């Protein structure tokens, strides 16, 4: 269809290759499976989701106070609520980190095995899992 429309102008359509030959050769050479090399299969242990606890955390601050709210839910559905007031000034991000630390201390004290943590701070979550880098000494101290 394209070549028919272009032929009236004496133009020939030549599709470009999506990958250059040398790049394809290099890729195949680097990732070719060698049967002589030993291989190791690493399997992740299966998680028993019936034993999973859920931890919801939220830090908050204003010019006068900072604090956090925690809610821990057992696999059976029992709720443990905790409200904290910090005795120091804190930014919103610092309050979120302090809430996370307080929640993890609670989980550790209760000897909870597996948890899933929920937090509304995208910055803190992404810094903890390594998607974002923390900037400044105060935030780096939490990681």
Domain count, the chain: 1
In a domain, 63, yes or no: yes
In a domain, 76, yes or no: yes
In a domain, 34, yes or no: no
Q: Where are the beta strands (DSSP E) in the chain?
A: 52-61, 66-73, 79-86, 114-119
pLDDT category at 2 given cuts 50, 70, 90 is very low
In a domain, 123, yes or no: yes
In a domain, 2, yes or no: no
The whole-number average pLDDT for the span 110-137 is 82
Q: What pTM value is reported for the model? A: 0.61
Percent of the chain with pLDDT over 90: 12
Of 133, 138, 127, 66, the C-alpha closest to 102 is 66
In a domain, 54, yes or no: yes
The contacts of residue 88 (CB under 8 Å, 6+ apart) are 66
CATH classification at residue 131: 3.30.420.10
Which pLDDT value is given to residue 40? 66
Say yes or no to pLDDT of 27 above 90: no
Which pLDDT value is given to residue 1? 45
The residue range of the domain holding 131 is 49-140
In a domain, 82, yes or no: yes
Say yes or no to pLDDT of 7 above 70: no
């Amino acid at each position: 269809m394209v070549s028919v429309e272009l032929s009236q102008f004496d133009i020939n359509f030549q599709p470009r290759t999506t990958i250059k030959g040398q790049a394809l050769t290099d890729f195949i050479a680097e990732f070719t499976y060698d049967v002589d090399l030993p291989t190791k299969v690493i399997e992740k242990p299966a998680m028993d989701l019936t034993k999973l606890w859920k931890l919801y955390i939220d830090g908050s601050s204003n010019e006068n106070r900072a604090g956090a709210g925690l809610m821990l839910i057992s696999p059976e559905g029992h709720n443990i609520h905790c409200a904290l007031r910090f005795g120091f000034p804190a930014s919103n991000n610092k309050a979120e980190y302090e809430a996370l630390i307080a929640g993890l201390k609670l989980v550790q004290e209760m000897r909870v095995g597996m948890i899933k943590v929920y937090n509304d701070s995208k910055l803190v979550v992404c810094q903890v899992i390594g998607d974002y880098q923390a900037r400044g000494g105060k935030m780096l101290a939490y990681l």
